[in-house]
Amino acid sequence: MLTRMRTQLRRTTLGVVVVTWMLGTSWAALAAPLNVIVMIADGMGSEQVKAGAYYAGAPMSFESAPYQAQMTTGSVSTEDLNGFPTDSAAAATAMSTGQKVLNFVVSVATPGDQSNLETMVEAFSAKGKSTGLVTNSYLTDGTPAGFGSHALARTLYADIASGYLNDTRPDLMLGGGGNGLDPIAAAAAGYTVVTDRTGLQGIDPGTVGPLMGLFGTSAEGMPYEWDYDQGFDTGYDTLPFLTEMTSSALSVLENDPNGFFLMVEQENTDKAGHEDNSDPHKTAREVFGVIEFSDTVQIVLDWAAGRTDTLIIVTADHETGGLEVTTDNGPGVLPTVAWNGSAFPGWDHTGVTVPVYAWGPGGEQVTGTIDNTDIRTIAMVPEPSTVVLVGFASLAVLKLRRTRL
């Protein structure tokens, strides 16, 4: 009997070696990327993409991605309230932490023990990488907050700001100011602070250290691209566009030899969807927001061209407005659309799936239909060494048992 036990143990040991080798080989094929860039067009569904492409007369830059999928966007509120759509804070939390929460909650276990959930900023910082958040909303808004701070409610701007400055400390934050963040507090926390395009262009990306761009103090974030194009709002005379902020972010973060994590958000695609249907500029604001986002993605793709170490994920957090494109009126002419709204009165978000596009190592996991919590899994590819260590640990246990036999 003892001989039989030893024979079985040797076979088990061999099996662990084989499984460890197979897992190590498998994860080597999914080697963790040096850089991870997640780009979110808030409120952008497939119809918004179509509207932008019709106006531009060409596909959006991200539509040629080698890996594509559709994504479900529900929150705990969706599950509890018969399909009630997510809000941006809960959606960002799901993508950033891999866990669903109630609407309006920012990366806190609710329902649950209300403990802080590890955000992507914290997870990548723990790996020794630089981290950055870019948005043309205000920086304490739901989407950037879900990736880099914690709060029981998304309107607790002071708590979100304090989380940035004192706890998670992203290396770079560029976006709208106000709403809990001010230049004095940011400077006191050790950040180099810039407040306009000239200041951003004047930084030395190789030596700047922690950087915060606070561009304006509007409660609505930065201006619509359409409004600037038409002369309704001159904000971008001095403030940087999303394309410019993203380009600057890359020039700073690329200096870290350990790599970086960057989240970029286009907020105006959501903000436009919330406008009243009677607003004659609603569709134009939406279309120009999608095109600005496409241009921003193109900047990232150009930066990553020729690299094999960067994972890029482009998606939305949910759809806003129930947009339906009915007629392509040709390049340079707004398409004919219908804004059908949501099935829930007073709530503009809908529950339709949103597109996901990916490039680079790990991007092959973007296929079929995924859930918003899968973004965390795809972005946080385990190091191959982790799998190998598990195998060695198993071998050590088996060796100990064998000795005792």
Contact status, residue 139 vs residue 181, Cβ threshold 8 Å:
yes
What are residue 126's phi and psi, to 5 degrees? -65, -25
Cα separation of 356 and 185, whole Å? 37
β-sheet bridge partners, residue 40: 265, 315
Q: Which residues of the chain have pLDDT under 70?
A: 1-30, 383-405
DSSP state letter for 316: -
Contact status, residue 164 vs residue 131, Cβ threshold 8 Å:
no
Cα separation of 336 and 292, whole Å? 20
Q: Residues 125-130: contacts with CB within 8 Å, 24+ apart?
A: 125/168, 125/169, 127/258, 128/258, 129/256, 129/258, 129/259, 129/260, 129/261, 130/171, 130/172, 130/253, 130/256, 130/258, 130/259, 130/260, 130/261
Reading the block at residue 325, the tokens are 């494109």
Contact status, residue 17 vs residue 391, Cβ threshold 8 Å:
yes
CA-nearest of 289, 162, 277 to 224 is: 289
Cα distances (Å, whole numbers) of residue 169 to 60, 152, 161, 178, 190: 33, 19, 10, 18, 10
CA-nearest of 304, 205, 200 to 252 is: 205
Cα separation of 379 and 32, whole Å? 9
Cα distances (Å, whole numbers) of residue 135 to 46, 118, 169, 393: 21, 21, 16, 43
Instruction: Give the model's pLDDT for residue 79.
Output: 85
How would DSSP label each residue in 73-93? ---HHHHHTTTPPP-HHHHHH
> 233-264 pLDDT, tens per residue?
999 999 999 999 999 999 999 999 999 999 99
| SS3 at position 282 | helix
- 323-327 and 211-214 strand pairing: unpaired
Domain 31-404, CATH homologous superfamily name and number: Alkaline Phosphatase, subunit A (3.40.720.10)
Contact status, residue 278 vs residue 341, Cβ threshold 8 Å:
no
Q: Which amino acid is at 44?
A: M
Contact status, residue 10 vs residue 235, Cβ threshold 8 Å:
no
Reading the block at residue 173, the tokens are 């934050």
- 310-315 and 354-359 strand pairing: antiparallel
What are residue 333's phi and psi, to 5 degrees? -125, 130
Helix (H) or strand (E) holding 38, with range, is strand 35-41
Other C-beta atoms closer than 10 Å to the C-beta of 354 total 25
CA-nearest of 159, 209, 202 to 181 is: 159
Instruction: Give the CA dihedral 166, 168, 174, 177, nearest 10 degrees.
Output: -40
CA 249 to chain centre: 15
* Dihedral of alpha carbons 18, 21, 25, 26, sign: positive
CA 289 to chain centre: 17
Instruction: Give the model's pLDDT for residue 80.
Output: 80
